[in-house]
Amino acid sequence: MEKDKAYKVLAQQEDISNKKAKELIDKGLVYVGNSKVRIARALISFDTKFRVEEVSEFKVIYEDDDIIAVDKPPFVDSYDISDAIDGATLIHRLDRDTSGVLLLSKNDEFLEKAIKEFKARRVTKRYIAWIEGVFYEDTNIDAPIVTSRKGKAVSRIDEKRGAKAISIVKPLEIQGKKSKVSIEISTGRTHQIRIHLSYIGHPIVGDELYGSRTQSKRVLLHAYQISLLGYSFTSKEPKEIYKYK
């Protein structure tokens, strides 16, 4: 059976450029059945049937002279949103798979104030996630995190070298062997929620990097609410977060 690199076969089937096909695979948007295509250069047969997930447009929740609050869809890089809004700078960022409230500043003075609030831990951030296993008890996780940035960022718990990280996890719903939880964080380490939930034996559904064994279109994590400097913004839960099945 004749084969070629996955991105070339995809490009031919979708009538797009090789570059665009590779980007779609690298962003985790291409599937064969329920399995994500992970390696753009992997050899694959010409009769393979791909499915490409559609990416939603981001929506502006609120805007004034200082701040823009955006409802970020999954599969979109935070920096792409920043690039798409003239004169706006990211105040923080969300992982590509994570949906929800993303904040940008419209001027340097407000950006400096916002950064100070983050450093002083005066920002309230609440997330919602579906996790592996049955979770039924409020849990405070205080476990320091260190992040390796060789290639893709990967975090781990390290009591000696890690930076302080605190997550408060509360149960919301149980469905079979999966649980819906809310998470409030006062620190914002790279992949904090993902590694903390994995650390207590409840990785986020779809988060294969940190131990989930459940196939999912995305990591089921949503930035539900953020409050700082007198502002408070909420993002409605997308359907895959509102109800797991």
CA gap 147, 143 in Å, rounded: 13
CA gap 198, 167 in Å, rounded: 12
Nearest Cα to Cα of residue 96 among 73, 126, 112, 70: 73
Nearest Cα to Cα of residue 90 among 71, 72, 68: 68
The answer to whether residues 191 and 180 touch, using CB atoms and an 8 Å cutoff, is no
CA gap 198, 190 in Å, rounded: 14
Cα 24–Cα 191–Cα 80 angle in degrees, nearest 5: 40
Catalytic site residue 95?
yes
Catalytic hit among 95, 97, 108, 138: 95
The answer to whether residues 128 and 237 touch, using CB atoms and an 8 Å cutoff, is yes
Catalytic residues: 95
